[in-house]
């Protein structure tokens, strides 16, 4: 990697320590022009640079450039929280992203970064720089550190940091003892929601969600950054899958499916006490008490003034658009919501981002829902409190209410899906192709998935300011499964070589009362496990596919990558687009937990006609292993079908069960997920 690229990454190291202090393992220091020092340091600038620079192993000269106008992003106080869901913050971030994108080369980017790093809110700075590095042509393919490394405080109980400091101060050389993070530290067993805390508070799941929103920002004046192929549809689909997965997880734990949050005047029965401290704000994340109600917001500090009734108005207008099958454009004309692109248009309106077709009319429903909920404890700022975890995409999924809100959002999307014509045999079938069977083979035996707890260790050191250097390890426990293979028998009677797309899903078979699920309920619970193209020779083909190749997940190592340990030049082709690759469902959460008695699920596979699915594009060198949930960087979504196909809409008449739904190119098998209540250490990887 060139020095310029490497230097930029130093801004992620110890984010709240000024950049004239030593950064990175190699103890590099930025040598700033005098006028870059903020006033508070100015008179000391000489002393500072010699003091902190003296035993630096490398000094990085910073070019003195004419600085762009940074007034807007500097309005956010340095020690405040930063939220993408707050319109004002979004504007500030949009401006800063533009500044970073507009720098003509890496040296200039470095200059502006060093100026900003001393003045701009660290969370916002980190977010904007990450977005810019993901999108600038000269920084593509760089390894960004994961957010757990930079801001571990967003993922872990604050006690960990006190202990981490003890550990790193006491043991200043050699290997360090990991700090153990207990499982289940946010509530006791008397809170039923705690049964799925391992899902909500999973570090990998929260990282995925943060990454997804990093790859799909809401705002930037360069529309291309926001306006990605089928972005609105992917917003719908990725979050729909989160709800489906959460519901399966709940059902494995004797909880009902999540109740949508659709009455904004009603108290929210679930409370949440995050037990996280913000390192930047030096303050605990505020809790939400049981029975809180969202209220009108009037927070001049955040420039937010919004009434709950606005949320209701936007909701009603969106529902009206779905009923009319058309949205209202700013010029008063109607634009139909068609079968192919309607969901995408709706997704953009609902989210909403700058590519919403009519923001003045349809508003900012999804984002403001996050905002209302995250300020329910202090809607008028009288207690000078900042937002709760729902206000940050890195922490929102910890809170039970996240799922209630998104279940409702999803429900509205389903209103649109319900209006689409059912798929007919033509659009579901694949003449000449018969899927004879699907089975699962793994350690646990045929058609049994096996899950257990696993204990892993991750590196936190970058994010810990003002501690001695060296590794700080956190050890935590998460769900894991035994890897397995799908074995699918496909008979190709076309007499020719042909290509198919194999689509694999899983869903519960019975509802919370043990009653078999109807097709329409089951389809909404379908979890995508994998999707891949497959060459089929004439005659019987045995397709064997490893669970590790899933199109929705990224490997454990990438979720928790420690970039210092990664081999290869990050600028090289092998590692290209590595940054984008942080997006993806964490592989250790591929399967729901199951139960100790074996949770029954149905496994479904279909082979669709690749000629009707495929997108002709070159994806060599791009990261596409989690494409189903994240898309492919700078490319079109790699499947022409509606996301979630064939389960994204109600079935044709007469289909009441999954068996009724099956055509010759589909098969299903009843399986079980067998959970073993034991914790195993993560095997050491070579
Ligand atoms: Cu991902 Cu609500 O969109 O959090």
396 lines ligand 1 (CB under 6 A): yes
pLDDT of residue 101: 94
In the chain, the largest separation of any two C-alpha atoms, in whole Å, equals 82
Give residue 395 CA to ligand 1 midpoint distance, Å: 10
370 lines ligand 1 (CB under 6 A): yes
pLDDT of residue 623: 63
Q: What H or E segment, with its residue span, contains residue 477? A: strand 473-481
Q: Give the residue among 284, 287, 306 at the shortest CA–CA distance from 367.
A: 306
Is 528 an active-site residue? no
- From residue 147, give the alpha-carbon distance in Å to each of 2, 61, 627, 635, 666: 23, 27, 21, 25, 41
Nearest ligand 1 atom to the CA of 212 is 1
For residue 555 the two structure tokens come to 């490997």
Nearest ligand 1 atom to the CA of 367 is 2
pLDDT of residue 570: 40
Question: Rounded to 5, what percent of the chain is helix, strand, coil?
Answer: 35, 20, 45
Rounded to whole angstroms, how far apart are CA atoms 503 and 646? 9
Rounded to whole angstroms, how far apart are CA atoms 61 and 6? 14
Give residue 582 CA to ligand 1 midpoint distance, Å: 17
Give residue 473 CA to ligand 1 midpoint distance, Å: 29
Contact predicate 637/615, CB 8 Å: yes
pLDDT of residue 237: 97
CATH number for the 3-139 domain, one of 2.40.50.140, 3.90.340.10, 3.40.50.300, 1.20.1370.10? 1.20.1370.10
Q: Helix, strand or coil for residue 667?
A: strand
404 lines ligand 1 (CB under 6 A): no
pLDDT of residue 45: 63
pLDDT of residue 475: 85
Q: Helix, strand or coil for residue 215?
A: helix
Compute mean pLDDT per 10 residues along the chain, 686 residues long, and list them: 82 83 80 87 66 69 93 92 89 93 94 93 91 87 75 74 63 65 82 95 90 81 81 96 98 97 97 83 85 96 93 98 97 96 96 90 96 96 93 93 98 98 96 98 95 86 56 84 97 97 98 96 98 97 96 82 45 40 88 98 97 81 73 84 97 97 98 96 69
Pairing, β 304-306 against β 297-299: antiparallel
What is the CATH topology of the domain spanning 425-463+484-681? Answer: Immunoglobulin-like (2.60.40)
398 lines ligand 1 (CB under 6 A): no
Query: In testing the pocket of ligand 1, which one of 214, 231, 406, 410 has its CB within 8 Å of the most ligand atoms?
Result: 406
Give residue 284 CA to ligand 1 midpoint distance, Å: 22
393 lines ligand 1 (CB under 6 A): yes
Give residue 106 CA to ligand 1 midpoint distance, Å: 32
Peptide bond between residue 352 and the one before it cis (omega within 30 degrees of 0)? yes
Nearest protein Cα to ligand 1, atom 4: 393
Residue 71, sorted as left (phi over 0), alpha (psi -120 to 50) or beta, turns out to be alpha
Give residue 83 CA to ligand 1 midpoint distance, Å: 12
Which entry of 351, 454, 459, 528 is annotated as an active-site residue? Answer: 351
- Going from N- to C-terminal start, the domains of the chain cover 3-139, 192-419, 425-463+484-681
Residue ranges of the alpha helices (H) in 223-329?
223-226, 231-252, 308-324
**The domain 192-419: what is its CATH number?**
1.10.1280.10
Query: In testing the pocket of ligand 1, which one of 217, 238, 239 has its CB within 8 Å of the most ligand atoms?
Result: 239
Nearest ligand 1 atom to the CA of 351 is 3
208 lines ligand 1 (CB under 6 A): no
């Amino acid at each position: 990697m060139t020095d310029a690229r490497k230097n930029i990454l130093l801004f992620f190291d110890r984010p709240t320590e000024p950049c004239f202090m030593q950064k990175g393992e190699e103890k590099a220091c930025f040598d700033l022009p005098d006028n870059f020092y903020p006033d508070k340091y100015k008179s000391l600038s000489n002393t500072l640079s010699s003091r902190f620079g003296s035993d630096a192993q490398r000094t990085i000269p910073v070019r003195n450039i004419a600085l762009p106008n940074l007034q807007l992003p500097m309005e956010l106080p340095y020690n405040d929280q930063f939220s993408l869901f707050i319109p004002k913050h979004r504007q500030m971030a949009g401006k800063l992203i533009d500044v970073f994108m507009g720098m003509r080369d890496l040296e200039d980017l470095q200059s502006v970064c060093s100026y900003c790093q001393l003045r701009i809110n660290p969370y916002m700075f980190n977010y904007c720089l990450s977005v810019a590095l993901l999108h600038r042509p000269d920084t593509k393919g760089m390894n960004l550190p994961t957010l757990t490394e930079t801001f571990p405080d967003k993922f872990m109980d604050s006690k960990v940091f006190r202990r981490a400091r003890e550990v790193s101060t006491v043991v200043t050389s050699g290997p360090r003892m990991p700090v153990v993070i207990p499982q289940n530290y946010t509530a006791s067993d008397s809170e039923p929601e705690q049964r799925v805390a391992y899902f909500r508070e999973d570090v990998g799941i929260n990282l995925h969600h943060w990454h997804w929103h990093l790859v799909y920002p809401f705002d930037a004046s360069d529309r291309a950054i926001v306006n990605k192929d089928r972005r609105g549809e992917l917003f719908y689909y990725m979050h729909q899958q989160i709800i489906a997965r959460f519901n399966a997880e709940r059902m494995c734990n004797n909880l009902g499916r999540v109740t949508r949050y659709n009455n904004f005047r009603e108290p929210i029965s679930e409370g949440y006490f995050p037990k996280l401290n913000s390192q930047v704000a030096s303050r605990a994340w505020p809790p939400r008490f049981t029975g809180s109600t969202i209220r009108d917001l009037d927070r001049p500090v955040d420039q937010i003034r919004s009434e709950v009734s606005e949320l209701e108005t936007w909701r009603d207008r969106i529902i009206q658009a779905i009923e009319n099958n058309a949205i209202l454009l700013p010029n008063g004309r109607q634009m139909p919501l068609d079968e192919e692109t309607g969901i995408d248009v709706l997704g953009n309106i609902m989210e909403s981002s700058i590519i919403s077709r009519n923001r003045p009319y349809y508003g900012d429903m999804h984002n403001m829902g996050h905002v209302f909920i995250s300020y329910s404890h202090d809607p008028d700022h009288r207690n000078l409190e900042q937002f709760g975890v729902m206000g940050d995409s890195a922490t929102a999924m910890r809170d039970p209410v996240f799922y209630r809100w998104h279940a409702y959002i999803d429900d509205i999307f389903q209103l649109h899906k319900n209006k689409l014509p059912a798929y007919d045999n033509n659009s579901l079938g694949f003449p000449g192709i018969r899927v004879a069977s699907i089975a699962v083979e793994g350690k646990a035996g045929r058609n049994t998935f096996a899950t257990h707890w696993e204990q892993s260790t991750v590196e936190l050191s970058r994010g810990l300011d003002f501690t001695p250097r060296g590794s700080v390890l956190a050890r935590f426990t998460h769900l894991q499964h035994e890897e397995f293979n799908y074995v699918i028998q496909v008979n190709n009677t076309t007499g020719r070589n042909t290509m198919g797309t194999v689509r694999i899903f899983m869903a519960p078979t019975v509802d919370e009362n043990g009653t078999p699920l109807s097709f329409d309920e089951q389809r909404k619970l379908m979890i995508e496990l994998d999707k891949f193209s497959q060459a089929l020779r004439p005659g019987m083909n045995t397709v064997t596919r490893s669970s590790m190749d899933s199109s929705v997940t990224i490997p454990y190592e990438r979720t928790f990558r420690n970039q210092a340990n990664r081999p290869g030049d990050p600028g090289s082709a092998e590692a290209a687009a590595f940054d984008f690759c942080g997006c993806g469902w964490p592989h250790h959460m591929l399967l729901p937990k199951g139960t100790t008695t074996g949770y029954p699920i149905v496994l479904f596979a279909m082979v669709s006609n690749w000629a009707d699915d495929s997108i002709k594009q070159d994806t060599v060198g791009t990261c596409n292993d989690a494409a189903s949930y994240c898309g492919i960087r700078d490319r079109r979504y790699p499947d022409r079908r509606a996301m979630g196909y064939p389960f994204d809409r109600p079935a044709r008449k007469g289909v009441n069960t999954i068996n009724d739904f099956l055509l010759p190119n589909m098969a299903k098998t009843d399986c079980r997920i067998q959970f073993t209540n034991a914790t195993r250490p993560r095997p050491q990887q070579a």
